[in-house]
Chain A
Amino acid sequence: MPQQVKVGANIDFHFDGSERTLLNALEQQKLQVNFNCREGYCGACRCKLLSGEISYINEPLAFVRKNEFLPCCSIPLTDIEIEIP
């Protein structure tokens, strides 16, 4: 079952696993997300996780607050709602 990813009020798509990470999937949707290392240590792609759960492919080294996550090294575990800063 692909997970639904909601970004703000207008955009939602399904994460079907054809992209390795959420960041790749967001870029496929032509969404502009800031990024640098794409490996979880710089924290540039930090987004807000409003609802749902994600799972990290690699545990990030960058500092991540409770309601935040790094799309560069994660995939959705359930349907999620996120906010790109």
Chain B
Amino acid sequence: MGLAKLNQLYREVILDHAQHPRNRGELADATGVMELRNPTCGDVISVSVQIDDDKIADLKFAGSGCTISQASASLMTTVLMNKSVERARELIMAFSALITGEKVSEKDDDELGDAALVGSVAEFPARIKCAALAWHALDELLDEKGATAHD
């Protein structure tokens, strides 16, 4: 077997996003910023979001990490940009299911697009945390948003 299996994880689109991350940086006018760390390796990802009218108007990520965490963060920004908060949270749930090896609906899978390819990380359990980091950060931000909206 050897390195052949690595191709499942490090697909071209993932390597491309790790090498040329989209939406990298910090939003000057963010409505929320969340920094999460992976305590096992010291990786840090900071996600900043601008929410307008219950919609993700802008989304960026910063920080350092491995190929999987960087690509996953980059893919997340491309997939969730301009989505409603509600739909974004559904897709975050679907992504979490995918990377832990669960099935998701065809609609969610389609909408996750290239990000769904990160789902192959389910075969590499030690790396699931890397894939999840940015998505968890955004989920917490949207959660806070929901909490304030209900206040």
The finding on whether chains A and B are genuine partners in a shared complex, rather than unrelated, reads: no
